[in-house]
């Protein structure tokens, strides 16, 4: 891993050349922040990955067109209303959000990306949204990344943010991201949102390559409840303010940047998993010694997505049989008679299955490990040299409570 420094008290607003703000526009009844704008003061390139759900929210459809432009200079995001399944009117509302933002910032609408999250199938309160965008743009000088991180939250219980710095050509490169996600999380990208800013100088096609590959090992390895949202998207904007030599090939500078981007995305992905609706535990499944990376990924994500495994972990029950069952239907290639299973964290490590069968183990120790807020499930397929990691959470009573009255 390349040397990188985590900047504990920095946010996306601290990346050189960017301004951001989050405000309350009136969409949420709670009075909490519900709209934010992220703006690059200079032209920037952007890359994005969108949900593969066939039912795509209006902002996704609009962004799939706008992302084709060379310059992307702003993102406007609202929470409280997903603007999904809202027909042609919803699409026009997304267009209006881009036009309003562009007018306030002196841009053209295609240089603005739009994102929404919240309730599906409800018309957008555009009078509030439009005024909110105008207010946010006028307050960009306040440059408050924390307020922006709060503005994209729905059922999230904490803000998800991280900022790191690396050196390329002796120039400080900042990569900072905010994300939201708590329920309807089972990304298949290609409701979870992530927005990343960086001052690196990189060609748009290389930025897209880095993001697309990074998503495969981060957000696409997370599952809270098995639902892929209509609004899932990840966007990264790079404004080139660092003035490093333009990265236009997969050279050493590209590799350094990609590794740092991977770190940021994986950390945000873990925060999303930890904050699953009603969750009490972050569960990490690490599959090792698989024949192929694809086999490892299929097995890891199958375990983290299993409702039976998640329920057992909520009850701190060392039910290794459910884990073996989950990898059995994952469509990965492995030899069942070779599989070993362990539970691990700071309490210790305990093996609960060997060669596809149960073995005697200390139930008290196992329970002590499983009662912690972080649990690692280690699965050794003993079939190759590849590995993969997936993240999720336990399934609790509160998940049903939250989603039993989400609209009301």
Are 31 and 169 found together in one domain? Answer: yes
Same domain for 342 and 215, yes or no, is no
From 274, 309, 327, the end of a domain falls on: 274
Measure the CA–CA gap between 299 and 225, rounded to whole angstroms.
Answer: 17
Q: What CATH number is associated with residue 345?
A: 3.10.20.340
Q: What is 261-276 written as a DSSP string?
A: HHHHHHHHHHHHHHT-
Active-site residue, selected from the candidate residues 154, 155, 163, 191? 191
Residue at a domain's end among 274, 308, 326: 274
Residues 17 and 61 in one domain: yes
Write the pLDDT tens digit of every residue in 60-78: 999 999 999 999 999 999 9
Q: Are residues 106 and 136 in the same domain?
A: yes
Average pLDDT, the chain: 92
Both 35 and 176 in a single domain? yes
- The CA distance from 161 to 145, in Å, is 9
Sign of CA dihedral 240, 196, 159, 111: positive
Give the DSSP H or E segment for 389: strand 386-393
Residue 144: which of 257, 293, 283, 36 has the closest Cα?
36
- Residues 114-169 pLDDT 10s: 999 998 999 999 999 999 999 999 999 999 999 999 999 988 888 999 999 999 99
What CA–CA distance (Å, rounded) separates 356 from 190? 34
Residue pair 210/47 in contact (Cβ under 8 Å)? The answer is yes
**Range in 45-49, 153-157, 200-204, 274-278 with the lowest mean pLDDT:** 274-278
**Beta-carbon-side half-sphere exposure of residue 235 (alpha carbons within 13 Å):** 30
> Are 166 and 49 part of one and the same domain?
yes
List the domain range (segments joined by +) for residue 306: 282-404
Are 256 and 308 in the same domain? no
Looking at 36-50, 147-161, 213-227, which range is the least confident one?
213-227
Q: Which pLDDT does position 225 carry in this prediction?
A: 54
Do 354 and 270 belong to one domain? no
Q: Could you give the percent of the chain with pLDDT greater than 70?
A: 93
Residue 190 has pLDDT above 50, yes or no: no
- 63 and 110 part of one domain: yes
> Active-site residue 191, yes or no?
yes
Q: Rounded to whole angstroms, what are the CA distances from 67 to 109, 333, 383?
A: 11, 37, 42
- CATH of residue 220's domain is 3.60.70.12
Asked if residue 186 has pLDDT above 70, the reply is no
The distance of Cα 160 from the centroid of its chain, to the nearest Å, equals: 9
Q: Indicate the Cα dihedral angle 125, 131, 134, 140, nearest 10°.
A: -80
Lowest average pLDDT, out of 186-195, 231-240, 373-382, goes to 186-195
Distance between CA atoms of residues 195 and 77, nearest Å: 10
**Burial tier of 141 (Cβ tally within 10 Å: 0-12, 13-18, 19+):** exposed
Q: What is the pLDDT of residues 292-307, one digit of tens each?
A: 999 999 999 999 989 8
Q: What is the DSSP letter of 402?
A: H
Same-domain check for residues 373 and 252: no
Residue 204 to residues 74, 165, 175, 191, 249: CA-CA distances in angstroms? 16, 20, 16, 26, 11
In 169-279, beta strands by DSSP E: 171-180, 193-198, 222-223, 233-238
Q: Is 387 helix (H, G, I), strand (E, B) or coil?
A: strand
pLDDT at 195 over 80: yes
- Output the pTM of the full model: 0.87
Beta strands 340-345 and 348-354, pairing class: antiparallel
DSSP E strands, 133-170 = 160-168
CA distance 302 to 339: 15
Last residue of a domain, one of 274, 307, 330: 274
Residue where the block lists tokens 């957000």: 219
Q: Is residue 117 left, alpha or beta, with left meaning phi > 0 and alpha meaning psi from -120 to 50?
A: beta
The 8 Å CB, 24+ separation contacts for 348-352 are: 349/378, 350/318, 352/318, 352/320
Give the alpha-carbon dihedral of 242, 247, 251, 252, to 10 degrees: 0
Are residue 259 and residue 362 in the same domain, yes or no? no
* Cα–Cα dist 392/400, whole Å: 16
Residue 322: the pLDDT is 94
Residues 252 and 302 in one domain: no
Q: Count how many domains the chain has.
A: 2
Helix residue ranges per DSSP H, 275-314: 293-305, 307-314
């Amino acid at each position: 891993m390349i040397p990188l420094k985590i900047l504990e008290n920095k946010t996306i607003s601290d990346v050189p050349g960017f301004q951001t703000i989050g405000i309350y526009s009136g969409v949420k009844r709670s009075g909490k922040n519900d709209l934010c704008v992220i703006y690059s003061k200079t032209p920037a390139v952007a890359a994005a990955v969108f949900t593969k759900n066939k039912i795509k929210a209006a902002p996704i459809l609009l962004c799939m067109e706008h992302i084709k432009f060379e310059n992307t200079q702003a993102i406007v995001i609202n929470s409280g209303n997903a603007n999904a399944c809202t027909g042609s009117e919803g699409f026009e509302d997304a267009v209006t959000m881009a036009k309003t933002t562009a007018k306030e910032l002196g841009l053209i609408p295609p240089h603005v990306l739009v994102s929404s999250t919240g309730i599906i199938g409800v018309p957008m309160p555009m009078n509030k949204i439009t005024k909110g965008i105008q207010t946010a743009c006028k307050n960009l000088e306040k440059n408050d990344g924390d307020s922006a991180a709060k503005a994209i939250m729905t059922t999230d219980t904490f803000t998800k943010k991280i900022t790191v710095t690396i050196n390329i050509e002796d120039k400080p490169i900042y990569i900072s991201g905010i994300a939201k996600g708590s329920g309807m999380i089972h990304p298949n990208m290609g409701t979870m949102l992530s927005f990343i800013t960086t001052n690196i100088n990189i060609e748009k096609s290389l930025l897209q390559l880095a993001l697309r590959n990074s998503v495969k090992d981060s957000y696409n390895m997370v599952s809270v409840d098995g639902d892929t949202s209509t609004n899932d998207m990840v966007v990264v904007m790079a404004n080139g303010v660092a003035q490093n030599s333009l990265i236009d090939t997969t050279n050493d500078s590209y590799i350094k940047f990609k590794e740092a981007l991977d770190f940021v995305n994986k950390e945000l992905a873990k925060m999303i998993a930890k904050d699953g609706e009603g969750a009490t535990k972050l569960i990490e499944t690490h599959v090792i010694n698989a024949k192929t990376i694809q086999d490892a990924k299929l097995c890891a994500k199958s375990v983290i997505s299993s409702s039976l495994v998640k329920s057992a972990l909520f009850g701190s029950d060392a039910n290794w049989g459910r884990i073996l069952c989950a990898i059995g239907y994952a469509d990965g290639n492995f030899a069942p008679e070779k599989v070993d299973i362990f539970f691990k964290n700071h309490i210790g490590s305990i093996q609960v299955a060997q060669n596809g069968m149960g073995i005697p183990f200390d139930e008290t120790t196992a329970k002590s490990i499983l009662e912690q807020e972080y649990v690692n499930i280690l699965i050794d397929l003993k079939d190759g040299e590849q590995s993969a990691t997936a993240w999720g959470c336990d399934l609790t009573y509160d998940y049903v409570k939250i989603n039993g009255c989400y609209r009301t």
